[in-house]
Amino acid sequence: MDTWISSQPSLSLDLHVGLPPLGRHQAPVALAKPKVLVEENFLQPLKKEPEVAALETELQRMSQENRRLAEALTAVAAKYEALRSQYTEMVAAGATTTGPSSTSEGGSVSPSRKRKTSESLDTAAAGAQQHPHGPHGGEQHPGGAAADQMECTSGEPCKRIREECKPKVSKLYLHADPSDLSLVVKDGYQWRKYGQKVTKDNPCPRAYFRCSFAPACPVKKKVQRSADDNTILVATYEGEHNHGQPPPAPAQQAHDGSGASKNAAKPPSPPRPAAAAAPHHPHLHNHHHHHHQQQQQQDVVAAMSAGAGAPGGAAAAAASELIRRNLAEQMAMTLTRDPSFKAALVTALSGRILELSPTKD
């Protein structure tokens, strides 16, 4: 994590693809050159033909858009930095006084209580007994749900214990198509939806999922669209998986299930090397970033989220590399999809070729 976002010149680099000469980076993006060709060769020999004019305006439009994107990214980076430093301060303060803060990210997680019925206690106890040896993921429960509840039943002031056990909550922000009503977050695990609720502060319903891969797995997940921007899905993970990564499913629903939440609990196709720590470092990247633009955006946001919680250095580098690549691919895709851009590119290239041709008079 750390300053990966602000220390990545490559980030803004990609956003400036297509801008008028910035003279800033040697963008490894193949699109930079064709644009220069367009300007050099078109405008002079052909003068201001309507096509050229259109192309120019289009270029300007794209430049403006890129600039806006760059500004937005800068703002986001600044906010991120501010939040991060704030968080660091809070952690430092907490470490010198009482200990872990009750919330891990953003601190906005409502104090989730646990149902206190005997049944749920039985379940929790059973879950705890299923892996008493606690190797694997089990030992990664510094304050697992089972332990939490056991403490409570023993008459301890469970409220505070619960607070201290909370840091297992992590949030993941994903970009999602607003027209896609399903609250599907592909993170490699199998989830069973057990509830849905409209909350007070958000008109969009919140979906509740439980990990269905292992019966005793205590992990839960809440997915809700952001109230501010409903293209953003907010997935809140609670707990840690006490089992390994589910095997990858046959690649079929790789690009999202159109049928609402039918796929909500199905594992996604991409094979994932990372193991059980997904909720905290959900590396939704790498293997499927070429599927869709949207999936790429999901990856980017996920990577940013993961980067925010990962130890700096390698993770940051990986995240930034991923982001760079995704942005470049997105832009390339967007541009190549635009027929007018293609036409202009072809014309420019052919014009250039003709110009450079020795058979010119």
Binding site for DNA (CB under 7 A): 110-117, 119-120, 123, 159, 191-197, 199-201, 206-208, 212, 220, 222, 259-266
121: Cβ–Cβ under 8 A, 6 or more apart, which residues?
149, 153
Pick the closer one to DNA by CB: 164 or 321. 164
CB of 194 to DNA, least distance (A): 5
Kindly report each contact of residues 92-101 with a partner whose C-beta sits within 8 Å and lies 24 or more positions away, as own/partner. Answer: 99/164, 100/164, 100/167, 101/167
The least distance separating DNA from the CB of residue 17, rounded to whole angstroms, comes to 39
| CB nearer DNA, residue 135 or residue 259 | 259
List all residues 6 or more positions away from 51 whose beta carbon is below 8 Å from its beta carbon. 344, 347
Location of structure tokens 């014309």 = 347
Q: How far is the CB of 277 from DNA (least distance, A)?
A: 21
The DSSP bridge partners found for residue 172 are 235
Round to whole Å and give the CA distance between 17 and 85: 30
Helix (H) or strand (E) holding 224: strand 220-225
Cα–Cα distance measured from residue 302 to residue 279, given in angstroms and rounded to the nearest whole number = 11
Give the nearer residue to DNA in terms of CB position, either 197 or 342. 197
CB 50 to DNA: min, Å: 51
98 vs 199, beta carbon nearer DNA: 199
Report the C-alpha gap between 192 and 282 in whole angstroms.
18
Between 261 and 293, name the residue whose CB sits nearer to DNA. 261
Q: How far is the CB of 338 from DNA (least distance, A)?
A: 35
